[in-house]
Amino acid sequence: MNLKGKTVLIGVSGSIAAYKIAGLVSMLKKQEANVLVAMTENAKNFINPITFETLTNNKCLIETFDRNFEFKTEHISVAKQADLVVIAPATANVIGKIANGIADDMLTTTTMACRCKKLIAPAMNTDMYENPIVQDNIDKLKHFGYEIIEPNCGRLACGDVGKGKMAEPEEILEYISKEIMYEKDLVGKKVLVTAGPTIEKIDDVRFLSNHSTR
Which residues are the active-site residues? Answer: 158
Angle (CA) 166 64 12, round 5°: 10
For 50, 117, 204, 212, 213, the CA distances from 207, given in Å and listed in that order, are 71, 45, 8, 16, 19
Long-range contacts from 55-61, C-beta under 8 angstroms, 24+ separation = 55/22, 55/25, 55/26, 55/29, 56/25, 56/29, 58/34, 61/36, 61/37, 61/106, 61/107, 61/110
| Residue 159, C-beta contacts closer than 8 angstroms, at least 6 positions apart | none
Angle (CA) 161 91 118, round 5°: 120
Please name which of 93, 101, 147, 82 lies closest in space to residue 121, comparing C-alpha atoms.
147
Residue 17: DSSP 8-state: G
